[in-house]
Structure 1
Amino acid sequence: MSGPAYEPVQWSSDHQDDVPYNTPLSPDAMQTGFHNPETIPLDPLDDLPAGASRPRFLGSAFAGEGPNPRESYASSSNSFPIQDDYNSSVYALNEQRPDAGRGSASYGYRDDPADSQSNFGKSPVFTESPYLAEKRNAYPAPRTSRRRPIIIGAVVVSILLVAGIALGIYFGVVRPKNDKDGSGAVSSGSTASSSGARPSATNSPSGTLAVVTGGDGSQITLDDGTTMTYTNKLGGTWYWDENDPFNNGAQAQSYTPALNQTFNYGVDIIRGVNLGGWLNTEPFIVPALYELYVNSSTPAVDEWTLSQNMAADTANGGLSQLEDHYKTFITEQDFIEIAAAGLNYVRIPIGFWAIETRDDEPFLAKTSWTYFLKAIKWARKYGIRINLDFHALPGSQNGWNHSGKLGTIGVLNGPMGYANAQRSLDYIRILAEFISQPEYKDVVSMFGVTNEPQAPTFGQENLVRFYLQAYNIVRNAGGVGAGSGPFISFHEGFEGLANWVGMFVGSDRTSLDIHPYLCFGTQSSAPYSSYASTPCQAWAVAQNTSMSAFGLTQAGEWSLAINDCGLWVNGVGLGTRYEGTYQGGTGPGLGSCDQWTDFATWTPAMKQDIENFALSSMSALQNYFFWTWKIGNSSVTGKVEAPQWSYQLGLQQGWMPTDPRAADGICQPSQPFNGPLSAWQVGGAGANTLQAAFTNSYTWPPTSLSAAGAVSTLPSYITSSAVPTLPVPTFTNSAGSTVSAGDGWQNTQDTTLMAVANPTCSYLDPWVNPTVPPPNPLCTGNARRDFKPPRSQITPPPKA
């Protein structure tokens, strides 16, 4: 490995920025967690509302940046300002449902293990999350006659028909279900490795047998009616039958269990990618959407301001422009490419407005859900599993642009913190009830209940309370005890993986989600070749330890960026540290970002170095979701301006591996986790038997909230409204009949109403600054004359 010579460095909280990138780790340096935005006030952003947090993204990977942690206009928070930039370890890299049955009335983060401000115990291996500063602030029978020839002909036809049906059933259903050997690996004779299309017993309108499955080289018909040759050199098999739209016979690759087979977590590897910027937009992922309004009187810096600008722009289609984006940014073709790339999982971020909006929330309501349903269909067709990620909660769980609105933290924080948490839990219940239905549970097999909650602001204790409540809700949605419903993913909340050891012991299929990035903080012009082994040194042991101590641990986000170059990576109009234009005032830059963003000039050697970094990252993280599948072109330059963040572009240009299995063993001898996980961790014996001491310690609701005080003095909602049930897709079989797709609600015994405003109480805006005091008096005996209860209704069926 090339790079400067180094000497071993012992970690300390005052570690300076002169540590070489390839310095070996000390025993205490293997902290885990993640590093995200910061919250120190930015003078250039004095026009933000009082208490508003600063923009999204990542944060310092290396100490020594001085008093300014990563700040970006689209993602920050002043709710819990950090005092210095020593927030990240150089070693951890910024590591039948009737209404009557259910509804209607019929401190600053530190990386120092000795930090006295921490409320949780430390270990010599893990401390608080070293990534906080990075992201802080789913026939009729033939008639016969007496004539012998006709009888004989009928018999022959019947035999042929039965043979055709048997072959169709065998190749389309039976064989995919039995293509696993005893070890859980796909056998060499798997249909997934064969090529060509295969017929089934399905009748087409012409009466011929329709082709419903095939492998590499087969012809496939897409939703839009076009046909193409299916290409998958890794043994993938597609499956789609209009008469059986919930058949799970598809298999992404020969080494990935088909959807109708068990995915053995801890043994089978999650090789995933995010569909970021699709149903929950971010400026740097889809710059063209934001470039239209970047110079308006209220610049578009998040989906809230983007929606406001679009709604006012009737000449260009108004808010429907967002639906145009949903239609075109991710399509069925992307799912084909994802499977062909060797990836078996997609993480799909979604905002609460997929369910409903209230009051003056400007988001395009209920529409993105239609496209999530399309994602379920496409994922099922190509054998890909989905991690549904609840990315944006009402009031914002972190104050960053991807939570819907740049500003302050309004979940579990401030005067509306409890009410917003109540509302969020209702939305978690609605999503969980839908994806727990038998028609969807094998496709949407994981549920990230909250993306990147800012626990250092509102405390890990209250986050655990919230997670425990969410856990009970999701498991109850399954309605049949342990082993039902999706795997539940908990983001570690920037508290560090070690602080979750001992939590949720005996739970049923829970996972920890971490977001390690290496790109913010002190910048370096060192080439990619100097980073080849850094992920192995920093992440591999941490992942192993958490897999053993907690259970399934997966990196829900990571990228190939090693600096903050890229259009709006730090937020709209904030510049970059690398170029010295960052509004956070990080000092002189290192030069132009062109060499890092103009991928057309990258040499084959540089691309190979980037691929080596990708492989070591995959090996170290073991179970992962790359951020993100696609970066849209800038409407100004006509090209991708943040290339290290696009998996698809990396495949096209040659710096991402065409088979992610090439990463296996890269980080040896770090000893990657060798499963299986414990039985209770995957829904087996002992699952869903949480310890009483744990559940009794984290009851709901919290007793008090940060920046607000006792919950009893804060606005809260009452359960008095019908629950809006998410609509199901519509499928029509070859006979023109509608195929049952469930009713959106798995547990019919779940009859709790939805939490909405009490007409006798006063409320603040859900997005209010946390420093505003709660209403006084809070409630009266009479309903307020100006009270307008929020509408809560059944979501209309999706568009065709």
Structure 2
Amino acid sequence: MILTKVALSMLVAMAQAWTLDSRELIPEDGSSLTKRWLPKVSKVRGVNLGSQFIIEEWFAKDSWKNMGCYGWYDEWNCVKALGQAKADEVWKNHWNTWITEADIKQIKEIGLNTVRIPVGFWMRESLVYANEYYPRGGLPYLDRIVGWCKKYGVYAIIDLHGAPGSQSPNEEFTGHIYYQGVNPPQFYTSANYERALKFLEWMTNRIHTNGNYTTVGMLQVLNEPVRGGVNATDMRKNFYPKAYERIQAAEAKLNIAKADRLHIQFMKPQGTSWGSGDPREFLPSTEMAFFDAHRYLSFDNRIEGTKKAYITQACKDNMGTNVTVGEWSLSVNSTLKNTPEFKYQGQETWYRAYWAAQAESFERSNGWIFWTWKCDGVEDWRWCYKQAVEAGVIPKDAGTAAALSPCSRYT
């Protein structure tokens, strides 16, 4: 997971990442220091809290419909349609009920140690322009969730999933869908970079000064930007280095000890996971920098459409050292998923092996974070960890992948 230029510094950073059992917290009132605690973690085993703060209709269908958003496919357009006051009301009900304390408790009980929390820049409401449409009032609910993580000893990653102007085309996860070639994403401007940088600074300060955030140890600067092209180059040159510098400058201003600083996460380089180029290219340093690989075998068209081929590929995967797989699922190619061989009903035994093969392979690196924890209005559990556990596909102990894996028979 850790990205550094020399092997020794990689090992040092890795030790800082996963073996710390205490860190310092600077209270908001500037009083004496208190301890902040992080769980000792050898391998990341986690889930994304998808659709908590950026709702994606495709796996939250019932909630989306009940909010009055049916027919819209991003938060922007539903907020605009409902009107700001009404939207704020219905979103607060969603934030209050989608992820509860019982969810975090269950996440811990079934052997998971990490959550990744996707958020939009609009959580810092002062950054939102008057002509933009996003729900207001989400911050107290983020504070509450990370407080539950602290209570149950769950490591947390806060991920800037929806950037100003949206960073990727045709995606619900940005909060506002822009369509490539018609009205492409608007993130790649100096003004929107600056808004994202201000969000990252603000979140850094909150993590270090609010006692609920004591198991938050990583801040991801941007989820899934465009793949390649002039915008990706501009981002690597003009956004990534500033994000790194501004996060560390905010920590320096607070006099955060080196050992207590946040790990700063970037998407994994082109050729291995994400086609936006190497994020290290213009960084002033790689200390405390991490990689996030998204590995969806369902989107790998090189895999022959057989069960054996999927297991074989899963067993071969190796994301390399110092990497977490921040998103993955149990899905297969859309042309196959409803065929008799791959449909989820009646194929639980095979999907259990498929889960174990992927999880074991990702643990050759620094671990994995499944997309996503829960779904509603969707019977297909291949994207829904909680439902897959209930179906008996994913075991109730996330640490059993190696024991259940079929890879010894395929490699």
Could you state the TM-score of these two structures normalised by the residue count of structure 2?
0.78
Q: How does 1:112-261 map to 2 (within 5 A)?
A: 260=37
**Matched AA of 1:516:** R
Distance (whole Å) between structure 2 residues aligned to residue 337 and residue 653 of structure 1: 15
The structure 2 residue matched to 1:302, chosen from 74, 91, 103, is: 74
**Matched AA of 2:219:** F
**Matched AA of 1:663:** A
User: Where does residue 265 of structure 2 map in the other structure?
Assistant: 489
Alpha-carbon spacing, 1:293–1:369, altered in 2? closer, same or farther (3 Å): closer
Q: Contact conserved, 2:121 with 2:163, CA < 8 A, in 1?
A: yes
User: Where does residue 463 of structure 1 map in the other structure?
Assistant: 236
Q: Is 1:385 aligned to residue 155 of structure 2?
A: yes
Give 1 or 2: higher helix fraction: 2
Distance (whole Å) between structure 1 residues aligned to residue 38 and residue 135 of structure 2: 37
Distance (whole Å) between structure 2 residues aligned to residue 271 and residue 385 of structure 1: 10
Distance (whole Å) between structure 2 residues aligned to residue 502 and residue 472 of structure 1: 13
Q: Contact conserved, 1:514 with 1:555, CA < 8 A, in 2?
A: yes
User: Where does residue 643 of structure 1 map in the other structure?
Assistant: 381
User: Where does residue 286 of structure 2 map in the other structure?
Assistant: 507
Q: Contact conserved, 2:167 with 2:186, CA < 8 A, in 1?
A: yes
Q: Is 1:450 aligned to residue 187 of structure 2?
A: no
Alpha-carbon spacing, 1:361–1:593, altered in 2? closer, same or farther (3 Å): farther
Greater displacement, 270-279 / 495-504: 495-504
Task: State the Cα distance separating 1:342 from its structure 2 match.
Answer: 0.4
Distance (whole Å) between structure 2 residues aligned to residue 262 and residue 330 of structure 1: 21
Distance (whole Å) between structure 1 residues aligned to residue 305 and residue 132 of structure 2: 45
Distance (whole Å) between structure 2 residues aligned to residue 512 and residue 421 of structure 1: 20
User: Where does residue 394 of structure 1 map in the other structure?
Assistant: 164
Q: Contact conserved, 2:63 with 2:376, CA < 8 A, in 1?
A: no
RMSD: 3.4
Q: Contact conserved, 1:483 with 1:508, CA < 8 A, in 2?
A: no
Distance (whole Å) between structure 2 residues aligned to residue 451 and residue 536 of structure 1: 26
Q: Contact conserved, 2:273 with 2:294, CA < 8 A, in 1?
A: no
Q: How does 1:263-282 map to 2 (within 5 A)?
A: 263=40, 268-282=42-56
The residue matched to 1:661 in structure 2 has which SS?
helix
Distance (whole Å) between structure 2 residues aligned to residue 184 and residue 327 of structure 1: 33
Task: State the Cα distance separating 1:333 from its structure 2 match.
Answer: 0.3
Task: State the Cα distance separating 1:455 from its structure 2 match.
Answer: 4.5
User: Where does residue 516 of structure 1 map in the other structure?
Assistant: 295
Distance (whole Å) between structure 2 residues aligned to residue 290 and residue 668 of structure 1: 39
Q: How does 1:343-358 map to 2 (within 5 A)?
A: 343-356=112-125, 357-358=128-129
Task: State the Cα distance separating 1:362 from its structure 2 match.
Answer: 1.5
The structure 2 residue matched to 1:476, chosen from 249, 252, 256, is: 249
The residue matched to 1:284 in structure 2 has which SS?
helix
The structure 2 residue matched to 1:404, chosen from 175, 181, 195, is: 175
Q: Deviations over 1:116-174 (max 9, x none)?
A: xxxxxxxxxxxxxxxxxxxxxxxxxxxxxxxxxxxxxxxxxxxxxxxxxxxxxxxxxxx
Q: Is 1:607 aligned to residue 348 of structure 2?
A: yes
Distance (whole Å) between structure 1 residues aligned to residue 34 and residue 353 of structure 2: 38
User: Where does residue 375 of structure 1 map in the other structure?
Assistant: 145
Task: State the Cα distance separating 1:372 from its structure 2 match.
Answer: 0.5
Q: Deviations over 1:623-662 (max 9, x none)?
A: 11100000112xxxxxx24320000001111000222222
Distance (whole Å) between structure 2 residues aligned to residue 478 and residue 659 of structure 1: 37
The residue matched to 1:519 in structure 2 has which SS?
helix
Distance (whole Å) between structure 1 residues aligned to residue 279 and residue 80 of structure 2: 43
Distance (whole Å) between structure 1 residues aligned to residue 262 and residue 242 of structure 2: 16
Q: Which has the higher Rg, Structure 1 or Structure 2?
A: 1
Q: Contact conserved, 2:167 with 2:224, CA < 8 A, in 1?
A: yes
Task: State the Cα distance separating 1:448 from its structure 2 match.
Answer: 0.7
User: Where does residue 429 of structure 1 map in the other structure?
Assistant: 201
Distance (whole Å) between structure 2 residues aligned to residue 349 and residue 529 of structure 1: 33
The residue matched to 2:228 in structure 1 has which SS?
helix
User: Where does residue 702 of structure 1 map in the other structure?
Assistant: none
Alpha-carbon spacing, 1:528–1:455, altered in 2? closer, same or farther (3 Å): closer
Task: State the Cα distance separating 1:530 from its structure 2 match.
Answer: 4.8
Task: State the Cα distance separating 1:529 from its structure 2 match.
Answer: 5.4
User: Please, which runs of 5 or more residues in structure 1 have no aligned partner?
Assistant: 1-182, 187-245, 249-258, 565-577, 579-589, 634-639, 670-800
Q: Is 1:632 aligned to residue 409 of structure 2?
A: no
Q: Is 1:559 aligned to residue 329 of structure 2?
A: yes
Q: Contact conserved, 1:271 with 1:343, CA < 8 A, in 2?
A: yes
Task: State the Cα distance separating 1:306 from its structure 2 match.
Answer: 2.0
Distance (whole Å) between structure 1 residues aligned to residue 19 and residue 313 of structure 2: 32
**Matched AA of 1:275:** L
Q: Is 1:364 aligned to residue 138 of structure 2?
A: no
Q: Deviations over 1:169-188 (max 9, x none)?
A: xxxxxxxxxxxxxx9799xx
Between the two proteins, what is the percent identity of the paired residues?
24
Alpha-carbon spacing, 1:650–1:361, altered in 2? closer, same or farther (3 Å): same
The residue matched to 1:272 in structure 2 has which SS?
strand
Task: State the Cα distance separating 1:352 from its structure 2 match.
Answer: 1.1
Alpha-carbon spacing, 1:591–1:445, altered in 2? closer, same or farther (3 Å): closer
**Matched AA of 2:174:** S
Distance (whole Å) between structure 1 residues aligned to residue 158 and residue 110 of structure 2: 21
Task: State the Cα distance separating 1:261 from its structure 2 match.
Answer: 5.3
User: Please, which runs of 5 or more residues in structure 2 have no aligned partner?
Assistant: 1-17, 22-32, 179-183
Distance (whole Å) between structure 2 residues aligned to residue 395 and residue 502 of structure 1: 24
Distance (whole Å) between structure 2 residues aligned to residue 319 and residue 642 of structure 1: 30
Q: Contact conserved, 2:303 with 2:310, CA < 8 A, in 1?
A: no
Distance (whole Å) between structure 1 residues aligned to residue 314 and residue 206 of structure 2: 37
**Matched AA of 2:198:** D
User: Where does residue 661 of structure 1 map in the other structure?
Assistant: 399
Higher relative CO (Cα under 8 Å, sequence separation at least 6) belongs to 2
Q: Deviations over 1:489-527 (max 9, x none)?
A: 111375646963965585331101111102247599956
Distance (whole Å) between structure 1 residues aligned to residue 66 and residue 112 of structure 2: 34
Distance (whole Å) between structure 2 residues aligned to residue 500 and residue 558 of structure 1: 21
Alpha-carbon spacing, 1:591–1:658, altered in 2? closer, same or farther (3 Å): closer
The residue matched to 1:396 in structure 2 has which SS?
coil
The structure 1 residue matched to 2:361, chosen from 620, 624, 647, is: 620
Q: How does 1:278-293 map to 2 (within 5 A)?
A: 278-291=52-65
